[in-house]
Amino acid sequence: MQEKLFDSEAKVMEILWNKGSLTAKEISLIAADTIGWNKNTTYTVIKKLEAKGFIRRDEPGFICSPLVTQEEVQKNEASTLLNKVFGGSRKALFSALLEDEKLSDEEIAELKDLIDKR
């Protein structure tokens, strides 16, 4: 995945990831209610997402379906952040994330388990 999701595009993708395939009209109604966007704004973002290959629009009904999962986008964004800000150092990234964060014993155990499974 080479394309980056801009904030507005991520908002539409969140709607699709949470609700599944929807018509453009349904997306615009949800976006109007939750974000305050007008229909034209939503339709413009939908067209950009389609051009980038993040969604597919099918007829009849202008039904929009996500072509990438939320997990794929999260991994891509994390990788970009890791390389751009932390020079590829996972240790530096985790140190920055955990530096001021209080973790519960359960969270610490879960993180240790994730590392052990690698």
**pLDDT higher than 80, residue 52:** yes
Expressed as residue numbers, the domain containing 99 is 88-118
Residues 82 and 92 in one domain: no
pLDDT in tens, 66-113: 999 999 999 999 999 999 999 999 889 888 888 888 888 999 899 889
Residues 74 and 98 in one domain: no
Residues 54 and 108 in one domain: no
Q: What is the DSSP string of the chain?
A: --PPPPHHHHHHHHHHHHH-SEEHHHHHHHHHHHT---HHHHHHHHHHHHHHTSEEEETTTTEEEESS-HHHHHHHHHHHHHHHHHTT-HHHHHHHHHTT----HHHHHHHHHHHHT-
Q: CA–CA separation, 40 vs 113, rounded Å?
A: 46
Write down the pLDDT at residue 100: 81
Q: CA–CA separation, 26 vs 61, rounded Å?
A: 10
Q: What is the CATH number of the domain that holds 69?
A: 1.10.10.10
Residues 94 and 70 in one domain: no
Residues 62 and 115 in one domain: no
Domain count, the chain: 2
